Amino acid sequence: MRPDDLAPGKILVMPSSSRDPLFSKSVVALVNYNQSGALGLMIHYPSDLKVSKALEGIKGAEKRTDTLFVGGPVELPKLFGLLRSATPPQGGHPVAGNLYLMASQESIGAALSAGRTAADLRIFIGYTGWAAGQLDLEVSRSSWYIFDYDPNLFFDEHPETLWSRLIAKAERHVALSGGEKLAITMNAEASVTPRHQGRR
């Protein structure tokens, strides 16, 4: 397993064999990765809270009927947004392709005020984080499936079944490869390599 496979925009999927109680059946979007560490957002975990309620008082949020996502167990009061945009948005940090991370209430508010819809703006509370070298170590130990960047996965319309669909593809391709834990091209949909995620 190679840490070189990691990069912003990759999708991390926890294998079905994992016994980690905190991250079982997780799908994590890697939105930042560098020598200082890594940051990810769970994209499979919608909460019961509506954006209009969670962001009450922020212009543009009052009419939002979509759900706030739980990005991870770290700093749950902190808000993040993932925005799909053809042009760089105000306060946005590029992730991959046309995807931007909104890491402040001001940048999220600007996107809401600009009329960005739920189809292109998903809002999260909390995140999953790795200290410097931590994710690299987990990669060297295997047990994560890593999918290449696919903007459609970030805004999947059925997040509650995202893990089961991705894990089925990953395990099928590993089986067809004779158990080789190498990058596998998945009909131009994604590449996948087993990796491991430990507790945060």
3-state secondary structure 34-94: ECCEEEEEECCCEEEEEHHHHCCCCCCCCCCCCEEEECCCEEEEEEEEEEECCCCCCCEEE
Contact 136, 6 (CB under 8 A): yes
CATH superfamily of 3-192: VC0467-like (3.40.1740.10)
> What's the confidence (pLDDT) of residue 109?
95
Lowest mean pLDDT among 35-39, 50-54, 72-76, 185-189: 185-189
> What's the confidence (pLDDT) of residue 194?
39
Q: What is the pTM assigned to this prediction?
A: 0.86
Neighbouring CB atoms inside 10 A of 53's CB total: 12
Higher-scoring residue by pLDDT: 149, 184:
149
Q: For the chain, what are the domain ranges?
A: 3-192
- The per-residue pLDDT for range 46-91, each reduced to its tens digit, is 999 999 999 999 989 998 999 999 999 999 889 999 999 999 999 9
Residues 6+ positions from 173 with CB-CB distance below 8 Å: 184, 186, 192
Does residue 193 have a pLDDT over 50? no
* Arithmetic mean of pLDDT over the chain: 86
Retrieve residue 30's tokens.
Answer: 């890697």
Does residue 174 have a pLDDT over 80? no
